[in-house]
Chains A and B, each alone.
Chain A
Amino acid sequence: MNAHYELPLEDAGYSFGFLDEYAKKEVRRCILKAIAIPGYQTPYASREMPMGRGFGTGGLQLTLSLIGADDTLKVIDQGSDDSVNAVNLRQFVQLTCPGVAVTEKTQEATLIQSRHRIPEKMLTEQQILVLQVPYPDALVVVEPSEARRKVMHGEADYSRLLVKLYEDVVRFDEITISHRYPTRLNGHYVIDPSPIPRWDVPRLHQSPALVLLGAGREKKIYAVPPYTVAEPLVFDDIAFRVEDFRDANGQRIACRCCGSTVSFLDELIDDAGNVTHQCSDSSYCEEEQETISARKQA
């Protein structure tokens, strides 16, 4: 990304959100259809962005089409507000959207763009979550032809995907998919929910907040509308399970920083070679630490 990028001024002198108004309108029309057809990968004409595809251009185009001067934006990458990618995207939006506030606190944000995680803190109806998607089509592992995949999706024919999942089960005795767990919306379309861990998948179910997913390279937008049934694909005899953070004694492992035993943990190996655990959602972890120190002072 070019930090010295200059804003293009339109004829009217109005410039906000980098994209021209035609590009925004197209994305907006697609978003509405994506909500009306939960999980359907709505095609749009992805625009060139001043950064390579794969750096969240799909998510960024959604954010820029949604955002207004009264929004408060949070950008996270793998749970962190401070990673290079998150900082770059946030700075780009600040540069191109004058007046927009930014925050690291989940509950202060009206718009959250994220890669690989859903915030630990429960989202509300006043918030929109935008997820960056590298591979939008859950069927790509069983069918190379997009034309045929579109028919399969339309007919909600996921028998081959289920067979593929079942082969996994037979071989490994459980469903080994760690990320991008195929998830069915409103009893029809199966989506790739982006590379979020299994931990985050149940949060899509009956979410108070709208979740929008954008794939810049594949030029697709899809949605998990609020209060919608979102079910991970499962078999009768094998339940869906989120990651298990218990130690050898069956104790739930706590975050080394805040002590939380209810968050998704990243595994870290320190200099001495010891394995430690820490909240993946850094903003959640910091707030937990603040709460604890406030309690100690009281």
Chain B
Amino acid sequence: MKNEMTMVEVDIWHPAQQQQMFRSLLDAFSYPGRIQTCSQQAEPSLALLAALLDGQTTLSDPQDMLEESIWPKLEAQRVPSELAAFVLLDGSHAPEFVPSLGTLEEPEGGATLLLRVASLHDDDSAVLRMRLSGPGIREAVSISVDGLHQDWIDARNDWVSSFPLGVELVLCDAKNFVALPRTTRIEIGGAA
């Protein structure tokens, strides 16, 4: 994992590339369930962090997925996972903490969790199948994921159960990513 994450980082620190990365992520948030392909020569999880973070925000990396040398470039403040605005996680391990969910008055305090998974599919071919509906989804869609512990989805469904509180998930494989904002209804089991 560490080797992959530091392999090529070519341009992910350049503002023009970060703008492009942000627009892909904007599409991902606007149309949950649509799998986006990362245009950068880097892991999407790292390219997304580079595009979003600076010294004004907080990051947690409880499984030490990032090289130490990446931290100064991201500029983000390192805080415990329970408090972080962004948390980078290995999706194959079950959740071990409750992230920030925001408050009724300030729901934007809910965290964004970037979960590294093995692979994302826009069909039913992978192990964990999910049927998605809600804002941004015209007709319910199904995606499937390898390398995501199902407890993440169960826990997430619990964390988003009292809207407007909740968390945003961004699932990332080696090339692609997909966003699951708190408004997305996720049913495990795929196409019914």
| Cβ contacts A10-53/B at 8 Å (1 or 0 each) | 00001011000110111011111101111010110000000000
Q: Which residue of A lies closest to B31 (CB)?
A: A226
| A residues in contact (CB < 8 Å) with B | 14, 16-17, 21-22, 24-26, 28-33, 35-38, 40, 42-43, 66-69, 125, 128, 147, 150-151, 154-155, 186, 188-189, 206, 210, 225-229
- Report the bound CA distance from A66 to B181 in whole Å: 20
Knowing A150-B105, A154-B104, the reply to whether A32 touches B112 (Cβ < 8 A) is yes
**Residue pair B108, A42 in contact (C-beta under 8 Å):** yes
- Report the bound CA distance from A250 to B114 in whole Å: 58
Q: List, in ascending order, chain B residues with CB within 8 A of A28's CB.
A: 22, 26, 51-52
Of A16, A22, A154, the most chain B CB neighbours within 10 A belong to A154
**Residue pair B105, A32 in contact (C-beta under 8 Å):** no
**Min distance, Cβ A235 to any Cβ of chain B, angstroms:** 25
**Residue pair A227, B20 in contact (C-beta under 8 Å):** no
Knowing A154-B107, A227-B138, the reply to whether A35 touches B181 (Cβ < 8 A) is yes
**Min distance, Cβ B2 to any Cβ of chain A, angstroms:** 26
**Residue pair A225, B57 in contact (C-beta under 8 Å):** no
**Residue pair A35, B29 in contact (C-beta under 8 Å):** yes
Chain B: number of interface residues, binned into ranges: 35 or more
Q: List, in ascending order, chain B residues with CB within 8 A of A67's CB.
A: 19
Main DSSP-derived SS at the B contact region: loop
Of A26, A36, A43, A227, the most chain B CB neighbours within 10 A belong to A36
**Min distance, Cβ A117 to any Cβ of chain B, angstroms:** 22
**Min distance, Cβ A25 to any Cβ of chain B, angstroms:** 5
**Residue pair A25, B168 in contact (C-beta under 8 Å):** no
B131 CB within 8 Å of chain A: no
**Residue pair A29, B52 in contact (C-beta under 8 Å):** yes
Q: List, in ascending order, chain B residues with CB within 8 A of A26's CB.
A: 54, 56
B38-65 contacts to A (CB < 8 Å): 51-57
- Report the bound CA distance from A50 to B188 in whole Å: 51
Q: List, in ascending order, chain B residues with CB within 8 A of A14's CB.
A: 14-16
**Residue pair B104, A30 in contact (C-beta under 8 Å):** no
**Residue pair A32, B29 in contact (C-beta under 8 Å):** yes
Q: List, in ascending order, chain B residues with CB within 8 A of A155's CB.
A: 104
- Report the bound CA distance from A40 to B15 in whole Å: 28
B191 CB within 8 Å of chain A: no
